[in-house]
Amino acid sequence: MVSITHAKVSTIPDGSDADLVRPVDWNAGHVFAGFVLDGDFTEDTFMYASAAGVPLATSPANVMAALSGHNAAEFLFGTQKLGGIVDPTTNQQAATKKYADDAIDTDIATHAAIKAADAVLGHVIVETGSDIDVDANGKITLGGHKTRHQNGGNDEISVTGLSGLLADDQHVLDAEVIAVAVAKATYNAHTVLYATTNNTPVALTVTEQTLVGRLTGTNIAAIAIGIADNNILQVDHASPADNDYAKFTTAGLEGRSYQELVNDISGVIKATDVEVEELSTATYDDVQDYINFFGGRTLLSGGAITDNGDGTVAITSLTAWSSISDSETAVGKFFDFAGGNTPPLTDMTTNYIY
């Protein structure tokens, strides 16, 4: 109940006014100046006219609800003042300080991004004539770039003015000088790319013990390593030396010294298979040389003979040369004897050792 100490009210039934100075209790059903209170006015209540001439006691929540239905209602916020706003729409003004701060921060960030994009854009050189798009986040999109440049087309790449290898006439980026692609499926292990005719590359498999090369009058091919016709030779010797002879083996060439060569042919080449023909008249520095060569018509080194007493003789190894006639230009024969102790001797017979 609200107590009013001073009030001017009309309480006389005939309608005349009277000044009263007395306490008045505002309760339901009291009549003041021709209107009747509707409801009890208690602590923390407001008077609100729900209809003409009918004051209504109501709560603060009802007052706020009633005011929220009027678009013209405005609230001014001051220090230590309270106000409530429910779900403002996008067309309404900023509702809270936080809303305003967030909006300002967003605007500042967007503006900064656009300024940064403008600065970057100033360093971009475009030669395609296409537009450049910059969005609000500063993302730059270059338009019109081709991922494929056709030879002879409007977007062909020219190497004019380039430096380095591309400036060489042999490195022009034309389709005519680019090798035809070889299918990946044609490549197996140990294959190389080669061409037997122009602009026709193929895969060549290189097997073991082969080299890729070109023999006289032939195309590029895999050439075998071996000792057969049209093969490539390889050395198969741990220590071949200068002035060695070469010996063919199934594994390749072996180096052979003079003594190894002699051992290899011993017993294979007979003395009768070796001969030297004098091509012109011989000249000598002194008589002794002449005697040594022609006196006995035989030069002998080694060849000592001893009797074994059993019908055989032992002969040490020897080398010899013997002429077959008295002519100074006659054919002579050389021979080597490795030595032995089994040559049989026939009684009453001249025996020859050769």
Could you tell me which residues come within 8 angstroms of residue 100 by beta carbon, excluding any fewer than 6 positions away?
A: 94
Mean pLDDT for the stretch of residues 269-283: 62
Of 215-219, 266-270, 350-354, the range with the highest mean pLDDT is 215-219
pLDDT of residue 297: 54
- Give the 3-state secondary structure of residue 281: coil
Mean local confidence (pLDDT), 78-101: 55
- Angstrom distance (rounded) from CA 246 to CA 235: 9
Is residue 221 over pLDDT 50? Answer: yes
Give bridge partners of residue 347 from the DSSP assignment. Answer: none
* pLDDT greater than 50 at residue 220: yes
Across 37-41, 45-49, 56-60, 81-85, least confident range: 81-85
Write down the mean pLDDT value for the chain: 65
Query: pLDDT band at residue 255, thresholds of 50, 70 and 90?
Result: confident
Q: What percent of the chain has pLDDT over 70?
A: 33
| Residue of 177 and 135 predicted with greater confidence | 135
Lowest model confidence (mean pLDDT) among 146-160, 209-223, 317-331: 146-160
CA gap 305, 340 in Å, rounded: 10
Q: What is the pLDDT of residue 106?
A: 65
Q: Which residue has the higher pLDDT, 177 or 184?
A: 184
User: What is the average pLDDT across 95-120?
Assistant: 63
| pLDDT for res 96 | 57
284 secondary structure, DSSP code: -
Is 138 within 8 Å of 126 (Cβ atoms)? no
Residue (of 22, 18, 31, 29) closest to 3 by Cα position: 22
* Residue 20, pLDDT score: 41
Q: pLDDT band at 162, cuts 50/70/90? A: low
DSSP code, position 232: B
Q: Helix, strand, or coil here: 303?
A: coil
178-187 mean pLDDT: 60
- Name, of 3-7, 93-97, 221-225, 290-294, the range with top average pLDDT: 221-225
Q: How much is the pLDDT for 202? A: 83
Strand pairing class (210-213; 298-302)? unpaired
pTM: 0.27
Q: How far is CA 250 from the centre of its chain?
A: 44
Across the range 128-150, mean pLDDT stands at 60
Q: What is the mean pLDDT of residues 176-197?
A: 69
Residue 315 has pLDDT above 60, yes or no: yes
Which pLDDT does position 179 carry in this prediction? Answer: 45
Mean pLDDT computed over 100-122? 64
In tens, the pLDDT along 52-65 reads 656 677 777 777 67
Look at 171 and 266; give whichever has higher pLDDT.
266
What is the percent of the chain with per-residue pLDDT over 90, rounded to a whole number? 0
Q: Which of 19-33, 58-72, 144-158 is predicted most confidently?
A: 58-72
| pLDDT at position 80 | 54
Rounded CA-CA distance 263/261 in Å is 5
Helices within the chain (DSSP H only): 60-68, 97-121, 258-265, 287-290
The full DSSP string for 122-166 is TT----S---EEE-TT--EEE----S---TTSTTPPP-TT--GGG
